Amino acid sequence: MTGAGRHLAAAWLAHPGGRAVMDCLARGGHQALYVGGCVRDALIGREASDIDISTDALPREVMRLADAEGFRCVPTGIDHGTVTVIAEGRAHEVTTFRRDVETDGRRAVVAFSRDIAEDAMRRDFTMNALYADAEGRVVDPLGGLPDLDARHVRFIGEAHERIAEDHLRILRFFRFHAWYADAARGLDAEGLAACAQGAAGLDTLPGERIGAEMLKLLAAPGPCRALGAMEQSGILARVLPGAAARDLFPLVHLEGSLNLEPEPLRRLAAIGGAEPEVRLRLSRQQAKRLSQLRDGIGAVAGTAELAYRLGPETARDIELLRAAGFGAALPAALDEDIALGTQARFPLRAADLMPELKGPALGARLAELEADWIASGFALDRAALLARR
């Protein structure tokens, strides 16, 4: 078990909260190590979003020690060994070393362990089975460092066994390739074959879990190669029938040329597919925005009208999707038209057409006048519109 003398150089390592939690566990006579994403990301110079700690202390002991130090504890997943310890304003997910006792592809029954190697073996990829002590010294029980250095996303042990434990690892394989792999080397052949062979297991997973993974994949700076491999292996059609990976390439290229940040719903609109809001169990807000984007691509409304009806961000995204999908240039006056539509305010209200009109006739006439106003470039004023009523 070695880390080849490697040390982390990350700002979070010096955070007083993390040091306090690690010291608290050490004073209690326990081993405590940072683990997973925070270690992996620190080694490749990326910011860590979550701080995870692995320990041989049992969950109740973690809570007892943390309470004694005055830290706030939340039993986030105590049955599975996880306690959230909040120290110095930062949350730390502290999880007892574990081994899988029983798995069914969706959830695992775990037993607590005191063996770091057992804990490492239950993880998905070698680059995620990296640990570091309080001083940042890397511990690599399974030889994940060479894979991380090579940007090689590789399952721990037998790929098909890791997938059988949790079918979501199929999608995580592609997502991690999009985020961490060396694009020039291609996907791990054994892992790709195991994903294709185990694809039927995805049918057993809740749509929310699949949707979350798909959106994370689409948020990667360069997801096209991973999505293309998903399509070629039949996995994309399984989770989102009708989606086309090739339709993402022009959009990603356009985003890059404009230095735009990735936006997963915009990219989801580009690849199409049947009922993504249902299959991926999108939130109501996400489903509404996706529907606006997909409907807007083929709508006759111009940029200014889109901005007026849907807001500036959605209008810009629709024009990006149109340009990428149709192989056309963005409108020359894109920014000006977005500003025009965003600032426009229809000068009439329903009361202005009453009592002459009411009910459905009132709504229909108001909509006609609004359409006239939009067609005028928002130039018709209140008096001109009232003269048409």
Q: What integer best gives the mean pLDDT of the chain?
A: 94
Neighbouring C-alpha atoms within 13 Å toward the C-beta of 63: 13
Q: What is the pLDDT of residue 113?
A: 86
Confidence grade of residue 119 (pLDDT, cut at 50, 70, 90): very high
Confidence grade of residue 5 (pLDDT, cut at 50, 70, 90): confident
Q: What is the pLDDT of residue 389?
A: 76
Average the pLDDT over 279-295 and give the result.
98
Tokens 């409304």 — which residue?
Answer: 301
DSSP conformational letter for 12: G
Q: What is the pLDDT of residues 208-262, one digit of tens each?
A: 999 999 999 999 999 999 999 999 999 999 999 999 999 999 999 999 999 999 9
Q: Is the pLDDT of residue 107 over 90?
A: no
What is the enclosing helix (H) or strand (E) of 160? Answer: helix 159-165
Average the pLDDT over 66-93 and give the result.
93
DSSP conformational letter for 331: P
Q: Is the pLDDT of residue 4 over 80?
A: no
Q: What is the pLDDT of residue 83?
A: 96
Residue 69, exposed/middle/buried by CB under 10 A (0-12, 13-18, 19+)?
middle
Contacts of 216 (CB under 8 A, 6+ apart): 175, 264
Confidence grade of residue 144 (pLDDT, cut at 50, 70, 90): very high
Confidence grade of residue 387 (pLDDT, cut at 50, 70, 90): confident
Q: What is the pLDDT of residue 1?
A: 58
Identify which of 171, 281, 284, 182 has the alpha carbon closest to the alpha carbon of residue 233. Answer: 171
Measured in degrees and rounded to the nearest 5, phi and psi for residue 146 equal -60, -35
| Neighbour count for residue 274 (Cβ, 10 Å) | 10
Residue 127 to residue 110: CA distance in whole angstroms:
22
Percent of the chain with pLDDT strictly greater than 70: 97
β-pair type (32-35, 52-55): antiparallel
Q: What is the pLDDT of residues 14-23, one digit of tens each?
A: 999 999 999 9
Q: What is the pLDDT of residue 59?
A: 94
Q: What is the pLDDT of residue 220?
A: 97
Q: What is the pLDDT of residues 25-51, one digit of tens each?
A: 999 999 999 999 999 999 999 998 899
Peptide bond into 276 cis (omega under 30): no
Q: Is the pLDDT of residue 2 over 70?
A: no
Q: What is the pLDDT of residue 80?
A: 86
Q: Is the pLDDT of residue 382 over 70?
A: yes
pTM for the model stands at: 0.91
Q: What is the pLDDT of residue 3?
A: 60
Q: Are 377 and 304 in contact (CB under 8 A)?
A: yes
Tokens 């005028």 — which residue?
Answer: 376
Average the pLDDT over 258-278 and give the result.
97
Could you give the domains of the chain? 1-149 (3.30.460.10), 350-386 (no CATH)
Residue 225 to residue 245: CA distance in whole angstroms:
9
Confidence grade of residue 330 (pLDDT, cut at 50, 70, 90): very high
| Neighbour count for residue 337 (Cβ, 10 Å) | 21
Q: What is the pLDDT of residue 185?
A: 84
Residue 60 to residue 42: CA distance in whole angstroms:
30
Q: What is the pLDDT of residue 108?
A: 64
Q: What is the pLDDT of residues 344-354, one digit of tens each?
A: 999 999 988 88
Calculate the CA 30 to chain-centre distance.
34
Percent of the chain with pLDDT strictly greater than 90: 87
Confidence grade of residue 172 (pLDDT, cut at 50, 70, 90): very high
Q: Is the pLDDT of residue 381 over 90?
A: yes
Confidence grade of residue 154 (pLDDT, cut at 50, 70, 90): very high
Q: Is the pLDDT of residue 105 over 90?
A: no
DSSP conformational letter for 145: H
